[in-house]
Amino acid sequence: DAMVIQNPRYQVTQFGKPVTLSCSQTLNHNVMYWYQQKSSQAPKLLFHYYDKDFNNEADTPDNFQSRRPNTSFCFLDIRSPGLGDAAMYLCATSRARGEGNEQFFGPGTRLTVL
Amino acid sequence: GQNIDQPTEMTATEGAIVQINCTYQTSGFNGLFWYQQHAGEAPTFLSYNVLDGLEEKGRFSSFLSRSKGYSYLLLKELQMKDSASYLCAVTDSNYQLIWGAGTKLIIKP
């Protein structure tokens, strides 16, 4: 089945220790998104890639970086995690940008910062 | 600013019908999505409306009124597995998806 895969599902890191979350997709979609979601809140868009074109949201902290080495993979790097970065990180894809393009989500990575 | 409003929490009884409302104020409109999210899991797509009116898909229906900036999700014949959060999201003029915080639906036997 075509899908969006995220690894790991649960990640524990220490305050200030860099961490990388990964996402891969077999849907061959052009657009990939990274969201941060805290409990009972709306998903917050951090970045998205339209193919190789990187789009950073204005309020995404510099502590967050992203890489998309090819169509299938996308990484989220948190350079110095703080306690406030503990959240669920969701990767999503869509075939294109524009009207009607639903987003398909991976299962998420729950990040704990100690 | 852009804003999506949904009730925080609703409770309904198994077998009954529930309507979850969503109002929005966004810069432009290019469609409205409803997603279901079970606790600790990722959102899954339920419905998409871009024209006014009702879209029916099995036990779930979604309605849109663009002039009123309003949508609702109607769930019929509620089952225990429908206990989840339901998120309303609007695509704005830049094709960005603006998310509501979700409505937590609790189903009681």
Instruction: Print pLDDT tens along chain A (114 aa).
Output: 669 999 899 999 999 999 999 999 999 999 999 999 998 899 999 999 998 888 888 889 999 999 999 999 999 999 999 999 999 999 999 998 877 788 999 999 999 999
- Closest Cα in chain B to A10: B40
Residues of B in contact with A106 (CB under 8 A): 42
Taking 50 as the pLDDT cut, the residues of chain B under it are none
pLDDT at site A2:
66
- Closest Cα in chain A to B28: A99
Collect all residues from A whose CB is shorter than 8 A from any CB in B.
Answer: 40-45, 88, 90, 97-108, 110
pLDDT at site B96:
84
Cα separation, A88 vs B17, whole angstroms: 31
Determine contact, residues A32/A25, Cβ cutoff 8 Å. Answer: yes
Q: CB-hemisphere CA count at 13 Å for B1?
A: 3
pLDDT at site B75:
98
